[in-house]
Amino acid sequence: MRVALISQIPQAVEGYTNGLRALGHEPVGLLTLPALRRYDVEPWAQVEAAKEAGMDVVMPASRDRVAPLLRTLAPDIVLCAGFPWKIPPDALAVPPLGVVNFHPSMLPRYRGPTPVAWAIRNGETEIGVTLHRMAPDLDAGPILAQAPLALGDEWSWDELGPRIAAVVAEILPVALERAEQGDPGDPQDESAAEYQSFFDPGYAEIDWGQRGEEIVRQVRAWRFGFVPEGEQGAVTELDGRRVRVLKAAVGGSEGFEVGCGDGTVRILETETLSL
């Protein structure tokens, strides 16, 4: 099959390209925008990944240009992973076999832009990986393949990303085979659906009156979440400096202690914010 990609994530572009070629499919191009607003993504890195793979790159100036640009790539199917725009219906109709979206949760749970961050915020011990047909409603299309993934003690996408990629590699052949056969996929259970948007502004500031484990979850959740506008947490003032806390723990001997609602939290890593 001829496969086009829609993504801003260089690791997804590289992983999908290698996986598709190993399965005998042809990656034909990437539709993208500037990189996601995250601390660990270099602008245009996904473009370089596509160019190194010998793929054409197209970049829409507006949503109404998505469909025409996809048509230039003439894909049989499209794979999407990490893209900030809602794909318009006319673009979803371009590939004969549809658009298959990657979502890092066990849909229909944790629909929305930052599912891993919300799972950590809520104290989940497991997330998951879903490949589903993209529909007009966000993260609501029928499921083609899905698998759970236990959360460990990951504090960055560099740690969690390869584990997610390994699960995608396992379930991608199933999703592609079902799509190629015209399988519509398994409808999501709407009674179990939940949508979580970006974190609320108040969650950026650390409340030291919380229990220690809640503060640690807040710090860790922000490592996997972001907001389009406003302050990126978890932020606080320590020793007269405005800082973003990047890693914390309850117990242990590393870092330094800060008092909290039920004892102390150890601060392991911070970055100073500009005034």
Q: For the range 58-67, what are the long-range contacts, defined as Cβ-Cβ under 8 Å and sequence gap of 24 or more? A: 58/29, 58/30, 58/31, 58/32, 59/31, 59/32, 59/33, 60/31, 60/33, 63/88, 64/88, 66/31, 66/91, 67/91, 67/93, 67/94
The reported pLDDT for the residue numbered 39 is 43
Q: Is the pLDDT confidence value at 194 over 90? A: yes
Beta-carbon contacts of residue 170 (< 8 Å; ≥ 6 apart):
147
Residue 120 pLDDT > 70, yes or no? yes
> Angle at CA 50, nearest 5°, toward 60 and 13?
90
Q: Are strands 77-81 and 256-260 parallel, antiparallel or unpaired?
A: unpaired
Question: Same domain for 159 and 216?
Answer: no
Q: What is the pLDDT of residue 231?
A: 86
- pTM as predicted: 0.93
Q: Give residue-wise pLDDT tens across range 11-45.
A: 999 999 999 999 999 999 999 997 655 545 566 88
Q: 84 and 188 share a domain? A: yes
- Do 101 and 233 lie in one domain? The reply is no
Q: What is the pLDDT of residue 226?
A: 87
Give the number of domains in the chain. Answer: 2
Confidence label for 54 from pLDDT (cuts 50, 70 and 90): very high
Same domain, 119 and 213: no
Among 192, 213, 244, residue at a domain's last position: 192
What pLDDT score does 36 carry? 56
Summarize pLDDT for 169-189 with one digit per residue, the tens.
999 999 999 999 999 999 999
- What integer pLDDT is reported at residue 274 of this predicted model? 77
pLDDT given for residue 41 in this prediction: 59
Do residue 179 and residue 214 come from a single domain?
A: no
Contact 146, 178 (CB under 8 A): no
Determine the average pLDDT of the residues in 100-116: 97
The CA distance from 67 to 78, in Å, is 12
29 and 140 share a domain?
A: yes
Are both 6 and 53 inside the same structural domain? yes
Model confidence over 211-239: pLDDT tens digits? 999 999 999 999 999 888 888 999 999 99
What are the CA-CA distances from residue 190 to residues 133, 175, 179 (Å)? 15, 21, 22
* Contact call for residues 246 and 269 (beta carbons, < 8 A): yes
**Domain of residue 62, CATH code:** 3.40.50.170
Q: Are residues 215 and 168 in the same domain?
A: no
Please give the residue range of the domain that contains residue 243.
201-272
Q: Please state the separation of Cα 207 from the chain's center in Å.
A: 26
Q: Are residues 33 and 157 in the same domain?
A: yes
Identify whether residues 206 and 185 lie together within a single domain.
no
Q: What is the CATH number of the domain that holds 253?
A: 3.10.25.10
